[in-house]
Amino acid sequence: MTDAILDRKSVRTYEKKPLDQHDVDLIGDIITKLEPRKGPFGYQIRYFFYNQETLIDEEAKKIGTYGFIKNAPAFVGGVIENTFFAIVDYGYLFEQMILMLTKEGFGTVWLGGTFNRSSFDSYTKNNEIIPAITPIGYEANRRFFEKAIRYMAKANSRKPFSEMFYLENREQPLFDQFVNEWMKPCLQYVQIGPSASNKQPWRIIMDQNQVHFYLEKTPNYASMMPFDMQALDLGIAICHFEQGLIEQKKRYTFQIKQNVTQEGWIYILTILIES
């Protein structure tokens, strides 16, 4: 799956054609495989697959992505309880969906604030939310529109290790040249992960075999949204770090620790690396 982390990019312009039946079935199989999975906090996503065989542009207008996402023939999204840690789980689980779709050659992009949630009201119940969806399709040749959006989003810009990762406490920034050989790719997978507006709000403190994840919230960011959007980013970061551990054949467990709080940061969880 780490190859998909490296290959993944945000695709906003698609070939204007429907998915063929083989790919419809393949996406259905991916959903079936992922639906039973739970995130670190025990929540599950209830997925839906919105496939458009005709009137692709008209459907995009209805969903609210017209002009921002071009020619997407299908969308996948999910429903989850609207609580902070459920949203973290959504980011963790939905990124697995994104990576599996990427591995199969589909174009995708995280959409959290740029679609009309009311278009999917029939999928939700009380205190449930659709935090994000992704279009699915065949990537078109990249045009100026695609390049301009990536530039505005600073999609190719990432914070250095020393601004995100720390050794033992937040007073000791971790520089990439001092990270041990097997840990470095795990952190690099976090570093290149997608985040809303590329804010990269994840913070990690390495304390021997304990890896503590925190959220440093961006002041006033997405304050009008009906959920905490940056909780998604932490779920994505945890997913990417875990995929690095799997690649390195490390055993690990998710834990919730006491007395590891940091002023100004929201503690999320700890990954205990066992071997």
The domain ranges of the chain are 2-147, 161-273
Q: Which residues contact 31 (CB under 8 A, 6 or more apart)?
A: 47, 49, 76, 97
Write down the pLDDT at residue 177: 74
User: Do the Cβ atoms of 219 and 274 come closer than 8 Å?
Assistant: no
Residues of the chain with pLDDT under 70: 53-67, 142-156
Write down the pLDDT at residue 107: 95
- Calpha distance 216→265 (Å, rounded): 5
Amino acid letter, 275 = S
- Calpha distance 61→79 (Å, rounded): 22
Average of per-residue pLDDT values in the chain: 89
CATH number of 161-273: 3.40.109.30
Hey, which residues does 70 pair with through a beta bridge? 13
Write down the pLDDT at residue 72: 87
pTM over 0.75: yes
Write down the pLDDT at residue 21: 94
| Residues listed for the chain | 275
CATH H superfamily, domain 2-147 = NADH Oxidase (3.40.109.10)
101 closest CA partner among 156, 41, 174, 24? 24
- Dump pLDDT digits (tens) for 182-200: 899 999 999 999 999 999 9
Write down the pLDDT at residue 122: 83
User: Do the Cβ atoms of 75 and 81 come closer than 8 Å?
Assistant: no
Roughly how many angstroms between the first and final C-alpha of the chain, as a whole number?
A: 21
* β 133-136/128-129 pair status: unpaired
Helix (H), strand (E) at residue 136: strand 133-136
- Dump pLDDT digits (tens) for 43-90: 999 999 988 765 555 555 556 555 578 888 999 999 999 999 999 999
Write down the pLDDT at residue 11: 92
212 closest CA partner among 175, 248, 174, 249? 174
Compute φ and ψ for 199, nearest 5 degrees: -75, -25
